[in-house]
Structure formats: C-alpha cells, structure tokens
Structure 1
C-alpha cells in the first residue's frame, strides 16, 4: 500500500505573529457565530489569533484553540454559509499537540456583512 502525504510549505508564508485580527472582522465573525451569545466577548474557539500573508497577498486569519466543542462546528457552518472559508487542521504551530489550527479566509470579493 502506498500513501501520499502532502505537506504545506510554511516557509512561503509570512507569519505576522503579533498582528491581531482587524477589529471589524473580529466583530463581524463573532456576530455570525451562534455560540457567541448576547454580551459574549467572542466565540471560545477564537483563541491565540494571528494573521498570515501568503506570497500572492492573500491573508489567512488564524487561531489556535485548545479544543473545538460542538458549538464551534455550528459556528464554522454559519461562517461557511455567509461565504467565509474555514479550514481546520491539527498542524498548529502554537503549542503543537495541544492546540488545533483554524484558518478563516474572507469571502471572494471581500468581507461579508
């Protein structure tokens, strides 16, 4: 049996480790997420945020939560329905093995309302 493993070349990505998500994007995403009940600061999964810029200028808004509960998946479904692209992987560079990596990309043509 042969397995093919595809690696992501993180060397091609500029990690703006100390760049937080833009405040307006942070609030728009929080407003779309069912888990952020009225008065909540943010969804629980929006933890350890940073921004990455690919060589083509595309920005990835990344966070590294410790756990993803069922409500996180409901949030991801709501974000996807609003046009955002969400990717979840175990390849977190923030405390590898203890956190997961969640990437959020803006909808084509800009941020959804």
Structure 2
C-alpha cells in the first residue's frame, strides 16, 4: 500500500462512526479492508474483528499480534431545546470539554445531523 492510499484509509477510518456499543459501521469497513490483505477474517463473540496472515511454517520468530480500539467515546443527547441547541451527556468516562469546540455528527434513528460542539452561551 502506498503512502497516498494509506493516508486515505486512515482518513476513512477516522471519519467512520463507531460509538461504543454501536460499532456496525466500523466493523463493516474493517472486515472489508482485512479481506484485502488477510486470507482468514472473522469477528469473535466479543465483537473483535480479526484478520489472520499465517507466517512461514519454519519462522525464526514467534507470532505477532497487532491490536487497537475500534470504538470511540460517544455522548448521548439529553435534551433538545426549542431553538435547536442540544444538551449532551457524556458516556465512557469522558467529558465534552475535552474535545474542544468543533463539528460533530449526531447519530439518530432517522439519520445523521451535523452539529457544532460549543460551550456556554455563544
């Protein structure tokens, strides 16, 4: 994989929704990408996506595993004000102020709404 393709893949992974407990979107992407490079791909009962690339039978080194988190810390909409402002409740032990101000995606049953994370009366 060349640098340009790698950067594009990383951008896609970063932009893929994966809030804790709702990782279906990232699971599909990971399974598809792993299938391009791994002869065996599966998802275990805990939801981990695993790709196996067998090494040579007489390898001088032992097996290697690479792991990472696939989910992201999300927030739950606590209240929607009449003017459209949304109050969020943190999940996963994080606080909204840690992320700073900026664009966010609000995932709903009927679609995705783009919002702006801000603090106080602005």
Q: Whose strand fraction is larger, Structure 1's or Structure 2's?
A: 2
Q: Which has the larger radius of gyration?
A: 2
TM-score, structure 2 as length reference: 0.27
TM-score, structure 1 as length reference: 0.28
